Each structure stands twice: as structure tokens, then as C-alpha cells.
Structure 1
Amino acid sequence: MRKLFQTMALLLVVITANFAVAQDYVMTISSGTMNVGGSGDLSITLDNNGGNVQGWSYGACNDTAMLTCTGAADGSTTATVKNGDPPDFNQISVFDEGFTCGVVICFVGCATLAPGTGYELNVASYSCTAEGSTSVSFCDSLGSPAVATVVVVDGASVPPEQNSGTVMCQILVTSDWVRGDANGDSTVNIGDGIWIISELFLGGAASSCAVARDANDDGNVDAADAVHIFSYRFLNGPMPSAPFPGCGQVSGQTPEDCEGSGC
């Protein structure tokens, strides 16, 4: 019976020790929102609550039905981890379905990553190809041979706790508008010129469709836009460029350009 208790106690110590090691190192992929047809970045970080880390490796996988990995670069920690310099070995491989990295900080043990939190290992770039929500997760299936997700402490490979990231791919919704219709009443007349002057110089109300104020299409909003409207309406000057006289949009338009119009 005594030997049984001793065996159980030893087993409990081993299990507890292994649990502590697993919780000592936590890798996390950040989350984000991207536009369909657009791109964005995610950060991969490490919390080290254990011993000095000599290196690490991991893969990060994404679903190519919604995301494509377009690149990966050193994070702020990796870039200076060897006493202010990059690590001795640092290999990144990028695939459509994710990326892998492998780092050895110093071949001769001259530097390690001390305990700390929020260490930025890498920043990965993705393009969104379809609407919806998808995950980016650590994986051991990328590369040939496949790269395992581990940190190295005292020469031993330790699988860290792993937290996936979530990416929301959203369709970019933009509004139609008419160039010069600064006050949003669906017509371009003297009132729009007065609105622009009031907003710019008299503390008047702001237009809900900022891009519509650029009546002369020079990329700026200033007194010249009001003059352009007056000239068009009263001096036979040139009409505003498209979208005009009907509603429309311009290339590269964002939702912030026009939050509400008369269209």
C-alpha cells in the first residue's frame, strides 16, 4: 500500500509538472476585420511565463476559401531578439494556405528570450476573398518536412498553449452621390456653394457626404469648390465631373467618403 501511495504521488507530481510547462508558454494569433477584395495583417505573439526560450517554430494555417496568406515578416521582438540584433537562424516560408517560421536565437547560447508577455514574433498579411468569418490557427502540417509548433527551452521542445485568431471578411458598402451636392438635397445650385463656404469658414454644419463637396474634382475641399458651383450655375462655367448630374460613385471610394446623400 505504501508503494502504491508513493507511485500515485510521483504520478501526480509528473502530471502537475507537465501541466505547468504547457501553461508556461502561450502563442496567440490576433483577430481582425478585412474587406472582401482587400487585405490586412495579423500579429503572432508569445507569452513566456516559464524559462529562457532559445528558439521556436510554428505553422499558421488559414482556409483558402476565404483567406490567402500573402506574406509574413519579423515581429518587433524577433527583429531584435539577439541582444538587439536579428536571430542567427530565421526562416519564413509563405504558402496560400498559411506560413511557417523557425527561429534559433543564438547558435552559441549568447542570447535567449527571457520571461515576459506580448512578445511579437511575426506579422502576417492576408487577402480576403469571400464574405464571412474564418479562423487562422496554429498547425503542424505546413512545409516539407512539416514544421511543428514548439518553443525550445533548455534544449527541449515544448508545445505551447495555442490560441487561434478570427478574421471577419466583410463586403465594403459605399453610397451613391452627386458631385457638388454638398447639402444633400439632390440638386446642385447656389445653396451648395453657400453650404461649402459656411462649413469651411463660418462653423456651419458638416456635409454628410464629404466627397460631394469637391465640386471641381481636384482632390481638395476649399473655396474653389464653391466658386466652381457659382460659375457653373451663373456664368456658363464647366459642369462638375462625374458623378454628375446623376448619382454614382468613384474608383477607390470608401464608406467614410459619403455616409449619406440625396441619392
Structure 2
Amino acid sequence: MSTPTGPGTPPPPPPYPPSPPRTDPPRWAWWVGGIAIPLVGILVTVAFGGKDSGPVAAPAPGPVDTATQPSSPGPSGMPSSEEPEPPASSDAAPSASASPEADLTAPDGYAEALSTMWGLAPVPCTQHEQQLINLDDGTSRTEDEDNGAVQEPGGAELLHWPDTCTGLGDYQLRALPNTRVGLLRADAPKSFDSCRAAAGTGFGALALSERNDREDRGFVEGAALCSVTDKGAVAMAVIEHIAGDAVDDVSVSGPLYVWAAAP
């Protein structure tokens, strides 16, 4: 029973309203949840992790640096990124000194061509020697020089002798008398028929040290001296190499092809 208030006494304060009921979970529930959720994940992983789910796909490769990555070889074994060089054109113009390939076909009445070598080998003019060259087989011999005269031809077709003895390009070359020798030019076919035809054109004395004279006459690398020898063979002495100039004596060498007459 409340005590009545007397006059002049203030009234008591009203009572506090009741607190609303608590709806959030208690603090201990958060700790339980933080432990239970990872535990459930572990149990699921253990339950299903034993099953083979197939190989794991590799990560996609990043962009390839084409500047450093080697290209894969093509079918021919060369890198596919490099184009093969085109073959050299066969229509290229030959050089002025090019010589047609020799056709060594033997016609009826002649044996297969004999292949050997021939050459002109000057010696000091003070030795007073001259060289005689036999185009049947390319052999040469020497005898005493006699101002271009020959003591004993012995079947030779060419004479190589020192015309003067000044020490500066003394040697000359000519066909011996009563022989069939001629010059086959560098651009002419190198064959039996063309060589036999050229043999009848004659070959007079030529100063080998005079380059202009040699070139005017056609005595250049790639040309050939041709002869119908005293044995009836057709010989083609190709001028393959010339060495020397006006201040020293010139040497000449090359292959010799001989079609001997059939017995």
C-alpha cells in the first residue's frame, strides 16, 4: 500500500519501461559457429576428395615472345619462319670468259676421247731453249733455240721459243710448218666437229706477253688450240689458265682432249 503523499511532497518518478526481449545470438554462439563451419568443410573434402576427378587442367600459357621463341622446323628441316632462298636463275648471262662445256662424243671412225693435260712452260731466255708440244698426247720436249727454226719436229704441232732475250716477255708461240692447227674461240662449241673445222684455219706466231694481241686473236681462257695431228687424231687443247704479263714470260695450261682415229 502506497504511502499517501502529504501536501508539498513531490510525486515519485514513473517506473522504467521493461527492456525488449534479446534477439541476437549469445556471444558463445559465434565461437561455436567459427569452429563448426571449417570443420564441416574439412569433412566434405575428406568424404569426396578420395574420388578421382581427372587431371587438373594446366593453366593457360601466357603470350609468347615471338622475338625469342624459336620457330618450329618445317617438313624440310628448316625453320618455318624462314623462307628458303630461291635457286639461282639459270638464265643469268655467262661471263665473257665462260667456255661452253666440252662435248666429248666420239663420231664413227674415232675412239673415245683421251683426256690429259698440256702446257707451255717458259724458262729463262738465257738458257736458249725452245719447247715443242705434241698434241697427240700433250708431251713436250726441248731443243736448242734457233731463232724459231726447228731442227727435228718429231711429230710436234706447236713451237714455243724466245724471240729475243731482253728479259721482258721474250716468248712466242706458233704452229709448226706442214701442220693443221687453228684457234677455236671461247664462245664456240667445244666438240669434235667444231675442233676439226677450226684446225684448218692456221695459227701464226703470237707474242704471248702482249695481252692486247692475245685478246685480239682470241687466245684467252676458255678458247682452245685445235689440230688434226700427223697421226690423224683430232686434238683440242683447252686454254684453261694463263699467267704472266708484259714484264715476265707467260705460262699456259689446260686439259687436252684427243680423238684418235680408229685402227
TM-score norm. by structure 1 comes to: 0.20
Structure 1 or 2: larger helix share? 1
Structure 1 or 2: larger strand share? 1
Which structure is higher in RCO with an 8 Å CA cutoff and minimum separation 6?
1
- Larger Rg belongs to: 2
TM-score norm. by structure 2 comes to: 0.20
